[in-house]
Structure 1
Amino acid sequence: MNRRFLSLVTPIAALVLAGVFGIMITGSAQADDAECRPDGLYKQSGVDVPYCDVYDTAGRETMDSPRRSIGYFASWRTGKDGTPAYLVNDIPWNKITHINYAFAHVKDDKISVGSPTASNPAIGMEWPGVPGAEMDPDLSYKGHFNLLNKYKKQHPNVKTLISVGGWAETGGYFGDDGKRVANGGFYTLAESQTKINTFADSVVDFLRKYGFDGVDIDYEYATSANHAGNPLDFQFSDSRRATLMSGYVKLMKTIREKLNAASAADGKYYMSTAAVSASGWILRGSESYQVTEYLDYANIMSYDLHGAWNHFVGPNAALYDDGTDSEMKHWNVYGTYGMGYLNTDWAYHYFRGSMPAGRINIGTPFYTRGWRNVNGGTNGLWGTSALADQTKCPAGTGGDVGSTVPCGDGALGIDNLWHDKNTMGGEEPAGANPMWHAKNLEEGIQGSYIEDYGLDPENDPTDRLTGTYSRHYADTMEAPWLWNADKKVFLSTEDEESMAAKTKFVIDQGLGGIMFWEMSGDYDWDADAGEYRMGTTLIDQIDAAFANAGPYDATKSNITMPDTQLNVDVTYSGYAVGDANYPINPTMTIKNNSSATIPGGAVLEFDYATSAPCDMTQQSGWTLSTVKCGHTGGNTGGLKGDFQRVALTVPSWQTIAPGASVTVKIVYRLPISTPSNYVLKFGGKSYALSVDHPRLGDPGGDPTSSSSSPTSTPTTDPPDQCTEAAWESTKVYNGGNKVSHKGHNWQAKWWTQGEEPGTTGEWGVWRDLGAC
């Protein structure tokens, strides 16, 4: 039972419910909701947001599963074009926690899914005669939205979000006639606060009208990296590269604030999430990704890490780097940075630098990518495949943009079943197939459906099944692929073995869950048809793995933070644009919003992600020293820790008066999201900072001696006493529980029993909180 229900009952009925069900009714909803706010989520003053509608008092999302299973629903698989349909009734509602509907778009500065015509799949289309796809007559609209709300009545704990943008509709949209309109989309919307306000208000209206639980912004991409994103959008994006990230931050902050106000008014919490990039190149141009504080969670698009946009033949979605990535070698990434960044593990750690693990979900593809005419490599892996005529490269790749790296020779025909079209209306060579088709290729089955997708095996040899597709697996990367030695075709896949590795990674690291693009690519064996068809094999596997998982990690810091908060802001600005942004050297601004004077000698400690090497420096005459390296060296097999921690000492001649700001130039080599877990030490005391939005009360704790003169460097805080209960080998502990054992305090990352603190290692269940 949730708070939304309780808000509807009378006071007398509430007392009865409390007695019957043991529900505690309190007099302060605001206090309860403050307890439920997730760690690090933007805290908006003056708005009583009903966080407890969605979160528990540990700040964890309430779901039917301990971890998220988020499926994208592709609106265009309606069956009306003769290809197999995937409708709302095909969704395994009892196996997932969230559905992202793809896609809405920006039109006239508002969210839109088009006009309510009979051909509009979102709000107008019907599927007469399809069992389970009958419309709910009580709703004023039809289409997928009608069915989503119909099935939500049966599965009320499954949350639905409307995804806006995506690859094709970030900078434009598809009109009612199916033609793409290039209107600038997010690129032009986000440069005007007036337009942003209009859009955010329309999102609130949209969620209320169509019954969605939140909005998922798929802006691809707000980065200063030139030629990033859809080539159709370059006319808008490339000229705005220097300001795209700042506009994105304003957009996401405004959406969060408008949703907070609507949540308070409606007594229903509305979620704000985003699909975020996994590419180190794109993220280098995304400043410090300052939007994470506004997201309930981030869905990392940890796929499309390799593809036919260049000639390097590699995995679509490797979990780990193993030091052999040919693209990393070409650009001397290993030599320059000491680690490779085209892998899920690196991308996760990038965002972990500014968010609790539980507010991060990794992405997995239910589709393939591939090349033909591959040369070299091991069964194709890390070979090369360049299009013979570089003047015919797809838009935005290789010779089309004058790149020194050739575009790839993407797989075609039967190896490219989805048969997406390029700007000229021809086939886009990409090796893009749903996994159920890849499984048929692996089994030597041509597939009874290929002509439905426009293939002509009778007359076109490219559309015909030839050769053998042998499955291979790289244990070091947890990445499978198919290799056809006769055709020299390489298809990067996802299957049960790689999914088992990824679900284990999610559980072991305390992540929130897994997002997958998209549900219709999943597979089952159809014995009657004698082939693989759309199914739920991978979704079933995710659901089964997470059913036995403990709660996700809801705490941002890996150390015990001070219980007193100081109102100090820390921001980063002045990033160079595009390829000039190396080494990365933004200006760090420390603004003292408290009533205390921060003296010379004060020490500001903070964490940054292990996505960057442990060698941050400064260029402003301050002292910056490393407190702890969470990871050093290469990242073969995964980064070994979450944070690098440093200490920045205020010069003896410097003070930071109330209301004043100071700046420091800092330098690091690989992208990091916004540093976090700040602890400011002076006057013998330690303070958490309001900029982290910690799960504490309002900023306060100003030292009484705020006007005192600067003194020497403050002494180290005395260690905590062993006040936690002693660990017991027979007792069950859940994530967040604390114990003391052998002179240290420990915190459980997830469910455990019988595992002795101090014996499970850095990756184990017990986190060492230090001596006591």
Structure 2
Amino acid sequence: MKPSRLHAALAACGTSLLLIAGALAGTATAATDNAACRPDGLYQTPGVDVPYCLNYDEDGREKMGADHPRRIIGYFTSWRTGKNGQPAYLASNIPWGKVTHINYAFAHVDGSNKIAVDDTATGMEWPGVAGAEMDPAYSYKGHFNLLNKYKKQNPGTKTLVSVGGWAETGGYFDATGKRVASGGFYSMTTNADGSVNQAGIGTFADSVVAFVRAYGFNGVDIDYEYPTSMKDAGNPLDWTLANARRSSLMKGYAALMKTLRQKLDTAAAADGKYYMLTVAAPASGYLLRGMETFQVTQYLDYVNIMSYDLHGAWNEFVGPNAALYDDGKDAELAKWGVYTAAQYGGLGYLNTDWAYHYFRGAMPAGRINVGVPYYTRGWKNVNGGVNGLWGTSNGPSGSCPQGLTTCGDGARGIDNLWHDEENGKEVGAGSNPMWHAMNLAKGIAGSYGPAYGLDPANDPEDRLTGAYTRNYNTTLTAPWLWNATKKVFLSTEDDQSLGAKADYVKNQGIGGVMIWELAGDYAWDAAKGEYFMGQTLTSLLYDKLRTATPYGAAKAKAKVAVPAEKLDVTIEATGFPAGDSNYPINPKLVITNRTQTAIPGGAEFQWDYATSAPNNAKDQSGFGLRVISSEHTGNNIGGLKGDFHRVSVKLPTWQSLAPGASVTLDYVYYLPVPGQANYTLTFGGRTYGLAQDLARGGVTPSPSPTPTVTPTGGACTAPAWSATAVYTGGQRVSHKGHTWEAKWWTQGQEPGTTGEWGVWKDAGAC
């Protein structure tokens, strides 16, 4: 969020993969019915009959009502209470019936690793405010009372509690408004030594289950900003704690999401009520580079992409807050050689389309929602560019927010109505609700100015000066206001750009849109002669999306035709360097045979990876990995043309993979992708899928129980060492009663003779 605080019906064809794995609970009929509704690629907690059919139909699509084939998710913030003299935005102001989901922002992680909220959530009242009367049916008051009051009148709308946010990822605000640096998600998920804090995660997950039960939420939304290994990412107030744990944050994040999924599934089965788990995820290729393969997607009902804050006054590059497409001219990307370095393929990665295609690499289109901002970002004293676009704006020495030594010159005063403060001073960011931006475009100062601290009589920056001219770039699909007098650039969102994004969502089969935040929407107030809070943009989204076809519910495209038979063979990406050293992106791919049948040399693996990276993936292990097809080539000006590249790699002819055995290859790619998907494995004249895709439908051939890990006693299963064969890193051989693993390329060096620092590692007796 912005700095103010994610087995088809087996019916007659057989038993589901997860049932074979032991996930049967309750009666066979109930379990089969529920399995039929599980979304494609969604993890199911073993041994739990999760009531998917309460939330999903038989195609695995979310049930949202006849006029909501796509999601419209609105973030509703806790702090617009009206108690500080500023205009209130309460539950009664939400456009109920036009939104499908409401995310309450924010709860936080307290000092004991439990979910907690402030008094506005459960204690505040608004006497005399029409529509804000408390419902006596509830034991608590505040926002939660009103949310449930209106949800009773609109039972099709779901509510989720969102935890974290920019300001409360690594701490929280106490009753006096002071920020407590408790460690938040960082210390709850990881220990100081870098290990996963499973105790903290367990405590938090248990508290979340109790919380959603107590306050009637349909689930939890995790807004952890950010579990990335990129140094100095996220809130500068958290850097001291977070930077020391960077290499472990994704491991802790994955453990958190798996634990939450399991505990919510268990509670759902017990309560007869489905509980959702979602995340707000970054859209920036820079942040995602440090998030490994974003391996949490399997646990999520859906991901909300924060496809905004792609440019802002944290640096000097003046550009759109939330462009839909790249135009090949992004000044920030140009500075770092993204357009000119051949290995990047000319792909600009600071736009909504790129971010969508990143997540499409791991999830069905329908489990992805595109974020849209109802607020602006902006700079003053802009130099160059076309009406400011792709110009620069450098903040003067000493003006940057805490933690930053350089920054842009963020717009202030009347151009920064929704400003944050640090130590009682305004933080320049050009942050305004869209209703204020609409007034600026019409030369209206707005009667609400004094409530936000504007004092035009005494502060020139608070005065309405110059004309704000609307500009629109059709390639970017992005509007902005340009004040040539003040050299102020405000990146906006309006009906034209939002309409184009709604069409994009419809045409791509995307699940829907997520709004940050509802209070920024506008309407014309004829009585006052100005724009103010309203429902114009949300109504536009509703009208556009209510006639959409059902969203895309399959992870794989039809042309891949992933087979019904699935083998329990896993391909895991490991060994990522910390983000700042992770270039090119070079994980180890560990392929493990968990079946009871050997996979022969020459067996072919294929998989898809996202077009968010260019089609130049390769391996450095001599396996001959190659890209065999691409749905997109060249730059992405105006949008990526397809979702996937397809890769093929074969086991060397002399390299069989015994039950329980693994082989490792060095995998290389040049922009972030969320792992691999839509696997096939071909040998013996037959092609199989892989169980780890968690695809709807299909069966696992029998026998299929997971074997023990690589044998350490009895007959040697790896092929015998040959003095003439070539071996590469990760390959195993047997020699003189031991299994040996090559660390790198070798030929003719006998295992057991190369010493501790040599090419062969002793993997144990066999």
TM-score, L = length of structure 2: 0.86
Residue 163 of structure 1 and its aligned partner are, at CA, apart by 0.2
Cross-structure match for 2:254: 249
Query: Are residue 413 (structure 1) and residue 413 (structure 2) matched?
Result: yes
Residue 701 of structure 1 and its aligned partner are, at CA, apart by 5.3
Query: Are residue 590 (structure 1) and residue 597 (structure 2) matched?
Result: no
SS in 2 for 1:525: strand
Q: Deviations over 1:249-284 (max 9, x none)?
A: 000111001111111111111000000000111100
Q: What are the residue-to-residue correspondences of 1:182-331 with 2, within 5 Å?
A: 182-191=181-190, 192-331=197-336
SS in 2 for 1:392: coil
Cross-structure match for 1:91: 94
TM-score, L = length of structure 1: 0.85
Q: Deviations over 1:19-56 (max 9, x none)?
A: xxxxxxx9711111101000001132211100001000
Cross-structure match for 2:384: 376
Tell me, yes or no, if the aligned pair for 2:377 and 2:431 is still in contact at 8 Å.
Answer: yes
Q: Of 79, 90, 96, which residue of structure 2 is paired with 1:76? A: 79
Unpaired stretches in structure 1, ≥5 consecutive residues? 1-25, 401-405, 711-772
Cross-structure match for 1:661: 662
Tell me, yes or no, if the aligned pair for 2:96 and 2:154 is still in contact at 8 Å.
Answer: yes
Q: In structure 2, what residue type is equivalent to 1:372?
A: K
CA distance in 2, matches of 1:285, 1:358: 25
CA distance in 2, matches of 1:89, 1:703: 54
Residue 657 of structure 1 and its aligned partner are, at CA, apart by 1.4
Q: Deviations over 1:699-746 (max 9, x none)?
A: 335699x99999xxxxxxxxxxxxxxxxxxxxxxxxxxxxxxxxxxxx
Query: Are residue 393 (structure 1) and residue 426 (structure 2) matched?
Result: no
SS in 2 for 1:76: coil
Distance 1:62 1:228, change over 3 A: same
Tell me, yes or no, if the aligned pair for 1:217 and 1:274 is still in contact at 8 Å.
Answer: yes
CA distance in 2, matches of 1:703, 1:377: 62
Cross-structure match for 2:454: 455
Distance 1:709 1:371, change over 3 A: closer
Cross-structure match for 2:603: 602
Query: Are residue 67 (structure 1) and residue 70 (structure 2) matched?
Result: yes
Q: Deviations over 1:127-168 (max 9, x none)?
A: 011111111101110000001111111111111000000000
Identity of aligned residues (%): 62
CA distance in 1, matches of 2:528, 2:115: 39
Q: In structure 2, what residue type is equivalent to 1:332?
A: G
Q: In structure 1, what residue type is equivalent to 2:103?
A: N
Tell me, yes or no, if the aligned pair for 2:183 and 2:241 is still in contact at 8 Å.
Answer: yes
Q: In structure 2, what residue type is equivalent to 1:393?
A: C
Query: Are residue 680 (structure 1) and residue 681 (structure 2) matched?
Result: yes
Tell me, yes or no, if the aligned pair for 1:566 and 1:701 is still in contact at 8 Å.
Answer: no
Tell me, yes or no, if the aligned pair for 1:36 and 1:57 is still in contact at 8 Å.
Answer: yes
Q: In structure 2, what residue type is equivalent to 1:318?
A: A
Q: In structure 2, what residue type is equivalent to 1:474?
A: N
Cross-structure match for 2:632: 631
SS in 2 for 1:378: coil
Q: What are the residue-to-residue correspondences of 1:455-604 with 2, within 5 Å?
A: 455-558=454-557, 559-604=560-605
Q: In structure 2, what residue type is equivalent to 1:357?
A: A
CA distance in 2, matches of 1:148, 1:555: 33
Q: Deviations over 1:475-526 (max 9, x none)?
A: 0000000000011000000000000110011011110000010000000001
Q: In structure 1, what residue type is equivalent to 2:385?
A: G
Cross-structure match for 1:364: 372
Tell me, yes or no, if the aligned pair for 2:307 and 2:370 is still in contact at 8 Å.
Answer: yes
Q: Deviations over 1:269-319 (max 9, x none)?
A: 100000000011110011110011111000000000000011110000000
Tell me, yes or no, if the aligned pair for 1:623 and 1:651 is still in contact at 8 Å.
Answer: no
CA distance in 2, matches of 1:569, 1:166: 34
CA distance in 2, matches of 1:168, 1:624: 43
Q: Deviations over 1:591-650 (max 9, x none)?
A: 111122111111010000000000110011212122211211100000111001001101
Unpaired stretches in structure 2, ≥5 consecutive residues? 1-26, 191-196, 708-714, 720-766
Tell me, yes or no, if the aligned pair for 2:113 and 2:184 is still in contact at 8 Å.
Answer: no
Tell me, yes or no, if the aligned pair for 2:45 and 2:261 is still in contact at 8 Å.
Answer: no
Distance 1:263 1:642, change over 3 A: same
Cross-structure match for 1:428: 427
Residue 460 of structure 1 and its aligned partner are, at CA, apart by 1.0
CA distance in 2, matches of 1:75, 1:241: 30
Q: In structure 1, what residue type is equivalent to 2:93?
A: D
Tell me, yes or no, if the aligned pair for 1:39 and 1:694 is still in contact at 8 Å.
Answer: yes
CA distance in 2, matches of 1:612, 1:168: 31
Cross-structure match for 2:750: none
CA distance in 2, matches of 1:253, 1:209: 22
SS in 2 for 1:283: helix
SS in 1 for 2:122: coil
Tell me, yes or no, if the aligned pair for 2:565 and 2:699 is still in contact at 8 Å.
Answer: no
Residue 697 of structure 1 and its aligned partner are, at CA, apart by 4.8
Tell me, yes or no, if the aligned pair for 2:354 and 2:639 is still in contact at 8 Å.
Answer: yes
Residue 89 of structure 1 and its aligned partner are, at CA, apart by 0.5
Q: Deviations over 1:56-88 (max 9, x none)?
A: 010000002000000000110000000000000
Cross-structure match for 2:445: 446
Residue 425 of structure 1 and its aligned partner are, at CA, apart by 2.1
Q: In structure 1, what residue type is equivalent to 2:188?
A: L
CA distance in 2, matches of 1:699, 1:174: 50
Q: What are the residue-to-residue correspondences of 1:137-156 with 2, within 5 Å?
A: 137-156=136-155
Q: In structure 2, what residue type is equivalent to 1:454?
A: G
CA distance in 2, matches of 1:462, 1:709: 74
Q: In structure 1, what residue type is equivalent to 2:97?
A: N
CA distance in 1, matches of 2:592, 2:701: 15
SS in 1 for 2:645: strand
Number of residue-to-residue matches in the alignment? 671
Tell me, yes or no, if the aligned pair for 2:592 and 2:661 is still in contact at 8 Å.
Answer: yes
Residue 547 of structure 1 and its aligned partner are, at CA, apart by 0.7
Cross-structure match for 2:361: 353
Q: In structure 1, what residue type is equivalent to 2:435?
A: W
Q: Deviations over 1:515-570 (max 9, x none)?
A: 01000000000111100000011100000001110000000001221011111122
Tell me, yes or no, if the aligned pair for 1:104 and 1:111 is still in contact at 8 Å.
Answer: no
Q: In structure 1, what residue type is equivalent to 2:588?
A: T
CA distance in 1, matches of 2:137, 2:504: 43
Q: In structure 1, what residue type is equivalent to 2:298?
A: E
Greater alpha carbon shift after TM alignment, 548-557 vs 106-115: 106-115
Cross-structure match for 1:671: 672
Cross-structure match for 1:158: 157
Cross-structure match for 1:103: 106
Residue 698 of structure 1 and its aligned partner are, at CA, apart by 5.3
**Once superposed, what is the RMSD of the aligned Cα atoms?**
1.7
Q: In structure 1, what residue type is equivalent to 2:219?
A: G
SS in 2 for 1:225: coil
Distance 1:486 1:73, change over 3 A: same
Tell me, yes or no, if the aligned pair for 2:563 and 2:698 is still in contact at 8 Å.
Answer: no
SS in 2 for 1:147: helix
Residue 369 of structure 1 and its aligned partner are, at CA, apart by 0.2
Tell me, yes or no, if the aligned pair for 1:623 and 1:650 is still in contact at 8 Å.
Answer: no
SS in 2 for 1:286: coil
